[in-house]
Structure 1
Amino acid sequence: MSKPLICLCLTAPTVAEDLALIEKYRHYIDLVELRVDLLADDERLAIRDFPSKAGLPCILTIRRTVDGGQFSEGEAARSMLFARALAFASEDSSKNFAYVDFEEDFHISSLQDAALAYGTKIIRSFHDMKNPLPSVAEKLRQMRVSRYEIPKIAFMPHSLSDVTKLYTEMQQFKNSDQIVCAMGTLGLPTRILAGKFQSYLSYTSPEDLELALSDIGHTDPKTLEEIYHFHELDEKTMVFGITGYPLKYTSSPALHNTNFKKEKMNAVYIPFKAEKASEAFEFASTLDIKGFSVTIPHKEDIIKHLQKTDKKVAEIGACNTVISEDGIWAGYNTDCTGFSKALCEFTGLKNLKKKKVAIIGAGGAAKAIAYAIKELGGKACVFNRTLTKAKMLAERFGFKYASLGMESIEILREYSEIIVQTTSKGMGMTGESNEETDPLWFYDFSGEELLYDIIYKPEITPIMARAAKSGCKTQNGFTMLEYQGEEQFRLFKTAK
């Protein structure tokens, strides 16, 4: 199979807007899919001349609602649209549609003959918008009835294990053309690593939220090419990544893939969302992933799957970096190093002696931060909604602990010189501070506190905005991400 292509799905309501999208992304894409079902009714009459205007190979698609599209007028009307688009074919093949997408159960011999007569390849597609397939391999064999057709299967995975299974099955099809993808955010690896999943192409859509098909897992062509260097990936590309759940926001791919590029390493770093740590290891082992970052909520649970850990993981009780070392999985913690460097830079201090620090939260990130504060000589109190978790973390490092609520106001004030927010509250959220977005919603800042929030998306969280308004100096977690990422990258370069 040749190297996979980037296909841009054209999702605008007018032909003019679709042509503008082509110009916007022309530098990144190899072909386009004209989604006729998304065009306004009067615009559908102008589709025959679209390939000559596009200047790129075009897929003609009129997707039914049952398959995730918006065409609901019936098969007779759809057949007429297909016929209109394929009629009066030009001897210059670039002026015709290069491909036409017919569903597995759509067989109109006159349309098929018209397509094949003028060199238009048929993509024979199957979609399950809700579930995975029992066997993608078996389905592909059933659909491959002619060498003139390219079978396509798209399904909705329920877990990362469904994506792992797809990869395993697709290794039987290295010498044939087919299109496969797992939809939704779980299926993102199938789009970035289309070549390793033996897929002929990877579908993308515009980054404009109104035009994007993000609900089925599309990314935009610019991200696919500039962040993941899609066209440079090959069979020898080493794969690294980040796992967590729900893994909605991460800047790690941009950081690590930039470093791979600078170091001229044939490697790519991808997100792979896993609800269970065991699924992440299954995926990593099957795809021969060389190393991966670990984020919420797996930093603690991941440890039981490791064969080796460094001293920091053992002392902290949390792991954020996993490396393949001579056939075994080894765990490290670079969060503590990244946080220590970032906090000293933020505060302008060389250590935390005589400083009292409030640690908000008691999860995996809080454990690494507590370790760093102890190493820097600080005193701390751990505040958490579940008091038993706060107690366990605090006693590990000889700190105090308290519940996270109004009943702990006085002790919070005592330890408020530096406040480190480690929970996920506020992640991806902007606007007013409230109980849902701000873990310290009940606390009035005096303006003297230093607030470090480990969240970095958004740049200013609700708690940061509220603290800054009171005169506090604040900092988000991007510097921590950068510094711990530097340490991670050093480890990634040793992976085997």
Structure 2
Amino acid sequence: MLCLTLTGSTLEENRALVQQNRKWISLAELRLDYLQADEQKIASSFPSTVDIPVILTLRRQSDGGKCTLSEKQRLQTLYESAKGDFAFVDIEEDVKKSDLKFKDPLFENKVDFELSLRQRGVRIIRSFHDFTCVPADIYGRISKLAAKGDIPKVAVTPKSMIDVIALFRAQQELSSIKEKIIIGMGEFGVCTRILYKKCGSMLSFCSAGEGAPGQLSAQVMSELYRADKLDEKTHVFGIIGNPVYHTASPRIHNPGFEAIHYNAVYVPFLVDSVRAFFKLAEMLQIHGFSVTVPHKRNVQPYLGRITREVKQIGACNTVTRIQNMWKGTNTDYYGFLAPIADEIAQGSIRTALVIGAGGASRAVVWALHNHGVKVTIINRSVEHAKLLSDETMSSFDSLEHCNRYSGAVDLVVQTTSVGMAPNLDEDPVPSFVFSGKEIVYELVYQPKETPFFRRATQAGCHVIGGAQMLIEQGKLQFESFTGYHYPHWVHPEI
């Protein structure tokens, strides 16, 4: 189940959010702490105005909420609101039983809040939040919360891949607790939100705006990742990197899986330790994954087989599980070549200028060299350019001498990150003059048009954007992962 966290300031705003997201969600969480004070007073009416079950929550600031009331006032407000037709009420694990007895003019004696909820068939969620870490006794805490018959909820903050493993292990460690909610907050926790069923969690929260750290929108969770439709037979694929959430790769692979009715999901994993990720990959039976910076070299010691391109380039961007071992390939190599293969075959690309000498440049220079193109590498650090040129039998020069090559090469390839955020206005070679006859290849794909891309277009060059290479290498990965060609009727939105 996907649960939409409602953070509107009015009930009407929250009703609109439910309506807008209705096709993607199964239930909603009304956050009283986001409501205006006068709206809180009538919050009990909310569940009867929407057509899905609602969780009632009034979160303290110490637990990541906005409530500034005294604890006594907070619990009284929660009690009054809970008189509505809510399906669940969230009560923090450290709230004492004695604090949950209230005077009510309708009753002679004090009302036991918990007992009254149970008598009405309202489920209690007992929640624990930790914004600093994943506690060492996490399984014990969950078991203790479940002991009363309530639904235990833990929202904790993994700070490493080891912490992420601890959350995914909860499914086997706590298999006897059928109903539980396990959430990994923050950047490392995103994969646990998407693969919440693999943690043994009964639901995952999603947002329609401001939400908890790492929370994704309902549409992304349901349409892109199909998180609520994953099952035990779903094949898990992914991409590892640090950073990783800028990646457009899920928008290539997941629509492809859906188009051919392949039961699989492609998930981003923020990875600080490659060794720990391989442990997680075994635990989740991950079938394959893409690799981005800074792990393209780091994964190689864990691979049973690598292709000639990986050996040559020294970088692996695709790992697949084959016969109980991991195989490493490099689809950047062929993905780069795909848009210019005809020009190389026809002999209209014989010389190339490659800007940059980093990881992306290595695949580009080797691909061109292996296809008989004479390459010159220019780079801010001449030493790095010389090292790569020695390996690839290419020429090299300083970035400041770029104008020497104006009008003298058939292909210009831009492999640096210049033009990406935060350097959106920068051009790696502002003094380079395009003749208009060059084929220009910009590897940056976000944004679609960099200053370098625009200058080349204005000069009349044939310009290839980075999205083409990304899609082509992604299609090759898709074939490695699934054994099927990428569906030609799917056009990824990059």
- Secondary structure of residue in 1 paired with 2:198: coil
For the 8 Å contact 1:371–1:397, the answer to whether it is kept is yes
Is 1:139 aligned to 2:135, yes or no?
Answer: no
Is 1:275 aligned to 2:272, yes or no?
Answer: yes
- Aligned-residue offset at 1:26: 0.6
What letter matches 2:13 in structure 1? E
- Secondary structure of residue in 2 paired with 1:372: helix
Evaluate the alpha carbon distance shift between residue 377 and residue 19 of structure 1 in structure 2; reply closer, same or farther with a 3 A threshold: same
Evaluate the alpha carbon distance shift between residue 229 and residue 354 of structure 1 in structure 2; reply closer, same or farther with a 3 A threshold: closer
- Aligned-residue offset at 1:40: 2.2
Is 1:225 aligned to 2:222, yes or no?
Answer: yes
Deviations 1:33-68 (A, max 9, x none): 011111222222221100001211001111111111
What letter matches 1:163 in structure 2? V
- Equivalent in the alignment of 1:154: 155
User: Equivalent residues in 2 for 1:50-89 (5 A)?
Assistant: 50-87=46-83
Evaluate the alpha carbon distance shift between residue 391 and residue 19 of structure 1 in structure 2; reply closer, same or farther with a 3 A threshold: same
- Secondary structure of residue in 2 paired with 1:140: helix
For the 8 Å contact 1:387–1:402, the answer to whether it is kept is yes
* Count of matched residue pairs: 470
- Secondary structure of residue in 2 paired with 1:439: coil
- Secondary structure of residue in 1 paired with 2:474: helix
For the 8 Å contact 1:60–1:101, the answer to whether it is kept is yes
For the 8 Å contact 1:429–1:461, the answer to whether it is kept is no
**Matching residue within 244, 251, 254 for 1:254:** 251
User: Equivalent residues in 2 for 1:376-415 (5 A)?
Assistant: 376-404=371-399, 406=400, 408-411=401-404, 413=406
Separation in 1, partners of 2:465, 2:186: 29
Separation in 1, partners of 2:407, 2:392: 19
For the 8 Å contact 2:348–2:410, the answer to whether it is kept is no
Evaluate the alpha carbon distance shift between residue 352 and residue 338 of structure 1 in structure 2; reply closer, same or farther with a 3 A threshold: farther
For the 8 Å contact 1:189–1:271, the answer to whether it is kept is yes
- Equivalent in the alignment of 2:236: 239
Separation in 1, partners of 2:131, 2:36: 24
TM-score by length of 1: 0.88
**Matching residue within 404, 416, 426 for 1:423:** 416
For the 8 Å contact 2:56–2:89, the answer to whether it is kept is yes
- Aligned-residue offset at 1:262: 2.7
Separation in 2, partners of 1:462, 1:66: 46
What letter matches 2:76 in structure 1? M
- Equivalent in the alignment of 2:303: 306
- Equivalent in the alignment of 2:175: 174
**Matching residue within 284, 287, 291 for 1:290:** 287
For the 8 Å contact 1:308–1:330, the answer to whether it is kept is yes
Evaluate the alpha carbon distance shift between residue 137 and residue 428 of structure 1 in structure 2; reply closer, same or farther with a 3 A threshold: same
- Equivalent in the alignment of 1:360: 355
Between 382-391 and 123-132, the greater mean CA deviation after superposition:
382-391
Calculate the aligned-residue CA RMSD, in Å: 2.3
Deviations 1:352-400 (A, max 9, x none): 6663322222233222111221233222222333433322222222111
- Aligned-residue offset at 1:439: 3.0
- Aligned-residue offset at 1:412: 5.0
Separation in 2, partners of 1:78, 1:168: 35
Percent of aligned pairs sharing the same letter: 36
- Aligned-residue offset at 1:328: 1.1
- Equivalent in the alignment of 1:372: 367
- Equivalent in the alignment of 1:489: 478
Structure 2 residues not aligned, in runs of 5+: 102-112, 485-494
Separation in 1, partners of 2:333, 2:79: 63
- Aligned-residue offset at 1:201: 0.5
**Matching residue within 202, 205, 215 for 2:204:** 202
For the 8 Å contact 2:170–2:200, the answer to whether it is kept is no
- Aligned-residue offset at 1:11: 1.4
- Equivalent in the alignment of 1:115: 117
Separation in 2, partners of 1:351, 1:297: 36
- Equivalent in the alignment of 2:94: 105
For the 8 Å contact 2:382–2:397, the answer to whether it is kept is yes
What letter matches 2:440 in structure 1? L
Separation in 1, partners of 2:403, 2:420: 27
Deviations 1:449-480 (A, max 9, x none): 54322222222234323444555443321111
Separation in 2, partners of 1:385, 1:276: 30
For the 8 Å contact 1:291–1:322, the answer to whether it is kept is yes
Separation in 2, partners of 1:42, 1:61: 17
Separation in 2, partners of 1:50, 1:174: 34
- Aligned-residue offset at 1:273: 1.3
